[in-house]
Amino acid sequence: MIASETRLGDTGALAVLNALPHPVIVVDGEDRIAGANQAAEIFFQSSAPMLARHTLDYFIPFGSPLFGLLEQVRERLAAVTEYRIDISSPRLGAEKIVDVYASPVAEPADSVAIMLLTRSVTEKIDRQLTHRGAARTVTGLASMLAHEIKNPLSGIRGAAQLLETDADESGRALTQLICDEADRIVGLVDRMEVFGDERPVEREPVNIHVVLERVKTIARNGFARNVRFVEDYDPSLPPAFANRDQLVQVFLNLVKNAAEATSNHEDPEIIFRTAFRPGIRLAMAGTRRKVSLPLEFSIIDNGPGVSEEMMPYLFDPFVTSKTNGSGLGLALVAKIIGDHGGVIECESQPGRTIFRILMPAHTGEQNAST
């Protein structure tokens, strides 16, 4: 709801503001938040009455360029637009880059209406296309490796097994080492070949909470025995239009990474969060029809975070911070989500890392077309 009808207009105007997918707030001459639409409540993670109790610098650092923009609007009594303003803060989170449209409001005096246009959706699409391009590169590499490496490895392994029959104890240890390493390389190539699977994903209505419960059960009985799990679910969430087994694979990868990231924490914690976010519609490659991505699934951990150097390449193949990692886990996650028409992103700072997935919900139209 809008915080104040008298300041922001009549019922019709309120309905229009609440229909906007972008956050809109009004601040008075003292930068106190006089009103906010529903998108602003979501963006600031506070209800309109709560927002009305604070000035803008409660949410945004006082030194932010946004405050200089407000002064320009008040001095010129004209609208001002500024691109790529950083409003990151401990309350809003890191990497909050927005385009800002600010316009003077007649009453009360010196009030300014601010609309924030988050750039994250566009950047998510760009990153997703980059991930898919990287996946295609791996696809070609996997095809080459399958022919150029797997076949010779089979011969090497067979020769090692023949030598083992006439070898002494130390020789058998060496031939076993050869076989084990050959199997390991074949396994790596097999994982890469998954990227070459271009078949359409078989999808159906999937209850994401059932998927997350299965993942949690596996984790608790294996690699995350000492981790505390927290559930923050939207109980009214509609089913996802997805492949259940592939979603299990996605979340197992993410939870395993989170468990490893928190392994040195005194109180390791992983949060499973689901939410419905209407208003996000993307035009996907190869079709003119815009796809709605209202389902948001997040895996949040309290580990040390992802380094700034690693962040731009996080979903690229062969990129890993693990000593014995292959760097294919997150690349495969990005491919699976992309094959579902979804988007994945990561937001990280010390003590809090979020892997956030946006996906389409199941509809009758999808069911009829499959």
- Final residue of a domain: which of 100, 118, 136? 118
Paired strand residues for 113: 26, 103
Looking at the fold, whether 231 and 190 belong to one and the same domain comes out as no
The pTM of the full predicted model, rounded to 2 decimals, is 0.54
- Final residue of a domain: which of 118, 149, 179? 118
Looking at the fold, whether 94 and 128 belong to one and the same domain comes out as no
Looking at the fold, whether 270 and 253 belong to one and the same domain comes out as yes
- DSSP string of 211-234, one letter each residue: HHHHHHHHHHTTTTTTPEEEEE--
Looking at the fold, whether 213 and 360 belong to one and the same domain comes out as yes
Looking at the fold, whether 209 and 326 belong to one and the same domain comes out as yes
Q: How many C-alpha atoms does 287 have within 13 Å on its Cβ side?
A: 7
Q: Which domain holds residue 295?
A: 204-369
Looking at the fold, whether 173 and 231 belong to one and the same domain comes out as no
Looking at the fold, whether 114 and 137 belong to one and the same domain comes out as no
Looking at the fold, whether 21 and 54 belong to one and the same domain comes out as yes
Looking at the fold, whether 84 and 143 belong to one and the same domain comes out as no
- Tally of domains within the chain: 3
- Final residue of a domain: which of 118, 152, 171? 118
Looking at the fold, whether 217 and 361 belong to one and the same domain comes out as yes
**Per-residue pLDDT tens digits of the chain, which is 370 residues long:** 333 433 444 555 567 777 777 889 999 988 999 888 888 888 888 888 888 888 998 988 877 888 888 988 898 888 887 777 878 888 787 767 788 888 898 777 889 999 887 755 555 555 555 555 555 555 555 555 555 666 677 778 888 888 888 888 888 888 888 888 788 777 766 655 555 556 677 889 999 999 999 999 989 888 899 999 999 999 989 999 999 988 998 999 999 999 999 989 899 999 999 998 775 555 554 445 556 788 999 999 999 998 888 887 787 766 665 555 555 678 888 888 888 888 888 888 899 999 999 988 887 655 444 4
Q: Label each residue of 36-64 as H, E or C.
A: ECHHHHHHHCCCHHHHCCCEHHHCCCCCC
* Residue 270: CATH number of its domain: 3.30.565.10
Give the model's pLDDT for residue 209.
96
Phi and psi at residue 67, to the nearest 5°: -70, -35
Looking at the fold, whether 330 and 220 belong to one and the same domain comes out as yes
